Amino acid sequence: MRILFHVDMNSFFASVELSFRPELRGKPVAVAGSVEDRRGIIVTSTYEARAKGVKTAMPVWQAKKMCPELILLKSNFDRYRTASRNMFEILRSYTSLVEPVSIDEGYMDVTQYHGQVHPYALAEQIQEHLLRDMNLPCSIGIAPSKFLAKMASDMKKPNGITILRKRELPEKLWPLSIHEMQGIGKKTVSKWEKANILTIGDLAQADPLFIAEKFGSTALKLQKRAQGHDNRPVNPDSIHEFKSIGNSTTLPRDTSNEQKIETILKQLADSVSSRLGKKNVVAYGIQLTIKYHDWKITNKSEKVSDAFHTTDEIYFRAKALFKRAWNNKPIRLLGISTYDLVDKQDAFKQLNLFTQEKDQKDYQIQQAMQTIQDKFGQHALIKGANGYEARRKWIEQRSLRGTSLEKPDQQE
């Protein structure tokens, strides 16, 4: 029998700030990229602020309208990263089997304590340790699998401890709405509901053939987890499985033609963006590699303050690096690599009212392009520079009309 914990820090960024300013405890506090009334968005907020209607990603001006007494603090990501490292060091003082999954949450395998201390008492010790040493609250889920531990940690917040046993699934887990199921994104909830899968119990008890036909083989894994079957180990090394994501290509023939080079850069950027999306990570660094006809290699890189992941963002950064690096000699190979990767949900980009709408539209276009490429292949949208732009405009127009991208023959 395995005993796994999922430790989830409560309102992590806000809690870290309050650990430096304890006089603000119990008050509605939010962390934002910019604290001016008309700039920035809410990164996170305390539960007192949430009770007043303040939500993550809400514009600061709207949050202030919802909660006039809201106390705004500017984000400090160096501080949060330091707190995260210290938090995981505390968890590792209990067991070496700690798997970070984001800046503020991770799994622990504490099976070694079986028969020595009750899991609930051990969870209380960890909570008290984090409060005593770092003044940070957390919720802990206790279960025999990763999925159940994660679901359990969400059941009592803030500062809760929940045990979820397999025999308790029909009572505690299955009545929950399907949108609360870990692994089912917000965008796909409506598809499940249309198939009359309204609760986690509906998924657990559905015909596997029906689930596979409607949602694919990946959905069968979700069904197994809903039934309590999840043998994934706690892997301390999983966070180090990829340090960079990139792609390179050797050209059919050496070239100095800038139009051809730009087309290749766009194809590489699209490939790298797709891989970032599949790993659900974003990057803070980018490197361009050029190998010349004489086999000499030039690398140019830069780190940026705003995380990026879309095709356009990668392409324009790579193109700028290329213009700085290229010596006008024929090129044999081009490569784009991204590094300083973080989980997408941990990344933060400071937006203002002038760029937020554009960023949102670009994100929707990128998601539409990804959907097409997943369905029809990696190069479905890229057949030269002109084709790239034409197809991008086509996607944008269809997105604005709300037209289905999956069945273009049915709607024109």
Q: Going by C-beta distance under 8 Å and a sequence separation of 6 or more, which residues neighbour residue 20?
A: 79
Q: Please enumerate, by residue number, every residue annotated as part of a binding site.
A: 8, 104
Structure token digits, residue 163: 């045990």
Going by C-alpha positions, the residue among 156, 133, 168, 164 that lies closest to residue 2 is 164
Going by C-alpha positions, the residue among 343, 342, 325 that lies closest to residue 334 is 325
Give the active site residue among 36, 105, 262, 406.
Answer: 105
Q: Please enumerate, by residue number, every residue annotated as part of a binding site for Mg(2+).
A: 8, 104
- Is residue 105 annotated as part of the catalytic site, yes or no? yes
Buried-state track 2-33, b at ≥16 Cβ within 10 A, e below 16:
bbbbbbbbbbbbbbbbbbeeeebeeebbbbbb
Residues 276, 279, 283, 289: is their CA dihedral positive or negative?
A: negative
Query: What does R_g of the chain's alpha carbons equal in angstroms?
Result: 24
Q: Is 75 left (phi over 0), alpha (psi -120 to 50) or beta?
A: beta
Pairing of β 138-143 and β 161-163: parallel
Q: Going by C-beta distance under 8 Å and a sequence separation of 6 or more, which residues neighbour residue 162?
A: 139, 140, 141, 142, 152, 153, 155, 156
Whether residue 145 contacts residue 225, with contact meaning beta carbons closer than 8 Å, is answered with: yes
Residues 317, 321, 322, 323: is their CA dihedral positive or negative?
A: positive
Pairing of β 331-343 and β 244-255: antiparallel
Task: Please identify every residue annotated as catalytic.
Answer: 105
